[in-house]
Amino acid sequence: MTRYLISFDDGAMDVAEEDLPDVTAAARTVEREATEAGVWVFSAGVCSPVGMSVVGVDGTVCDDPPADKAYVGGFAVVETATRDEALSWAARIAAACRCAQEVRELVPDPGA
């Protein structure tokens, strides 16, 4: 089994306020179905980059993130037998969240 990160950029989920309850319900349905299928690991929305900090290798803290950088807006981690299965779940998440999803394989750390 391989774990995949399914994510979208901050601002990609451009949904009208009145549609948010439907989007939330659809996303929770996909999460429930993925949990029942035994592939769901974890998910979260990520707060806006406003107020974020970047910590450098020397410990220096920068509270002004670069404006030209793309930031993650939300993500899910699934564990599937095949990449095609992960892509299928990503398609369901994309439909529920009404925005495209990026799918990337996570590198396992056997020492963790």
CATH number of 2-47+70-105: 3.30.70.1060
Q: How confident is the model at residue 110 (pLDDT cuts 50, 70, 90)?
A: confident
Encoded tokens for 22 = 């439907």
The model's pTM is: 0.88
Encoded tokens for 71 = 């930031």
**Model confidence pLDDT, tens digit, residues 10-62:** 888 888 999 999 999 999 999 999 999 999 999 999 888 888 898 999 999 98
d(CA 2, CA 41): 11
pLDDT at 65 over 80: no
